[in-house]
């Protein structure tokens, strides 16, 4: 995609609203950020390996927390307090998924993720959770492999989900074997992160390259999970994937404040049958507008032959 489609320009402008008033960064942290592990020693150790269960919300969030903390020093030249760390987009997006109920079991066969059940559980049947897995495991293990995390590649193991275990890689070695191109892109990002000569725009380019590659690898693998959702929610998931392609092209800055602003425009709950933007009564005008815009962008993308979903995903 050589240029940003005009519809995408409008959408990016629409969601780049400003936060009003004074606030502390800590006020905008993802849910349970402070309670999540912040160092490898917070996880259990078995046979010399740190064992992380990414199917428990605080443990997956802890992976992001360690990643953001370990990379903080490389972003000091751009702004204080780690606010310009472009890896913030990953935990903030995961927090939005948790808050809006997108990590629960959409089939309803288990109580995974529900307030009345195991509310910290992340369901392997959730399309959002499965796609997000590869935006947690791959950047995290890629960072371990790059040496930036301070431990060796054979010292971390992720727990497998209760089903479909063969669809997920669990350590540096298996992820490199299953997704060599994407792991290489994450490695490239971390290499440039450690170069003092790298500009902010350079880092955004390499981050988005790795980000979109991570999802492209597995979109078709988990597409059947969308069948568990209402038609509006499934359409939103597809629309979101197309929008990410355009956000990547625009090199949207995934810093703490920008992503926090961005997410105010996203649906605050799972969409249900009958939801039709811009007429969803319990959504804000901005949320209705952005939801409609995402759908229109997808339609225009397909109609004009760009077809980001088919080409990139």
pLDDT in tens, 16-71: 554 444 557 777 999 999 999 999 999 999 999 999 999 999 999 999 999 999 99
Separation of alpha carbons 90 and 171, rounded Å: 19
pLDDT-derived band at 15, boundaries 50, 70, 90: low
| Mean pLDDT of the region 81-100 | 97
pTM: 0.93
Joined together, the tokens standing for residue 73 give: 């020093």
Q: Is the distance from CB of 202 to CB of 188 less than 8 angstroms?
A: no
Rounded to 10°, the helix 200-216/231-250 angle is 150
Q: How many CB atoms lie within 10 A of CB 170?
A: 19
In this structure, the dihedral spanned by the alpha carbons of residues 75, 79, 82 and 88, taken in order and rounded to 10 degrees, is: -80
| Tally of residues, the chain | 313
Distance of CA 203 to CAs 53, 67, 109, 206, Å? 29, 16, 42, 5
| Mean pLDDT of the region 270-287 | 97
Joined together, the tokens standing for residue 5 give: 């489609």
Separation of alpha carbons 230 and 249, rounded Å: 29
Tell whether the model's pLDDT for residue 310 goes beyond 80: no
pLDDT-derived band at 91, boundaries 50, 70, 90: very high
Distance of CA 139 to CAs 50, 91, 309, Å? 17, 12, 22
- In the 8-state DSSP scheme, what is residue 151? S
Report whether the peptide linkage leading into residue 105 is cis, meaning its omega lies within 30 degrees of zero: no
Q: How many CB atoms lie within 10 A of CB 235?
A: 18
Ramachandran class of 65: left when φ > 0, alpha when ψ lies in -120 to 50, beta otherwise: alpha
Joined together, the tokens standing for residue 109 give: 């066969």
């Amino acid at each position: 995609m050589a240029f940003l489609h005009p519809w995408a320009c409008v959408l990016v402008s629409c969601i780049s609203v400003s936060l009003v008033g004074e606030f502390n960064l800590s006020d905008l942290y993802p849910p349970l950020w402070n309670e999540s592990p912040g160092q490898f020693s917070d996880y259990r150790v078995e046979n010399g390996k740190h064992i992380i269960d990414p199917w428990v919300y605080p443990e997956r969030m802890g992976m992001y927390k360690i990643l953001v903390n370990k990379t903080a020093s490389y972003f000091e030249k751009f702004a204080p307090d780690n606010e310009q760390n472009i890896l913030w987009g990953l935990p903030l997006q995961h927090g939005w998924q948790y808050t809006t109920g997108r990590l629960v079991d959409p089939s309803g066969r288990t109580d995974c993720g529900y307030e009345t059940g195991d509310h910290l559980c992340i369901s392997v049947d959730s399309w959002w959770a499965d796609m997000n897995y590869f935006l947690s495991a791959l950047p995290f293990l890629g960072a371990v492999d790059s040496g930036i995390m301070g431990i060796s590649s054979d010292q971390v193991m992720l727990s497998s989900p209760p089903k479909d275990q063969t669809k997920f890689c669990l350590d540096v070695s298996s992820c490199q074997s299953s997704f060599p191109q994407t792991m290489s892109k994450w490695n490239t990002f971390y290499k440039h992160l450690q170069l003092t000569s790298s500009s902010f725009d350079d880092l955004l380019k390499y981050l988005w390259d790795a980000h979109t590659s991570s999802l492209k690898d597995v979109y078709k693998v988990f597409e059947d999970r969308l069948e568990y959702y209402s038609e509006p929610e499934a359409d939103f998931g597809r629309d979101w994937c197309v929008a990410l392609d355009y956000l990547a092209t625009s090199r949207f800055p995934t810093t703490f404040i920008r992503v926090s602003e961005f997410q105010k425009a996203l649906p605050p709950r799972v969409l249900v049958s009958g939801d039709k933007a811009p007429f969803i009564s319990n959504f804000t005008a901005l949320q209705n507008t952005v939801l409609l815009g995402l759908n229109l962008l997808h339609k225009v993308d397909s109609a004009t032959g760009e077809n980001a979903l088919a080409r990139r995903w």
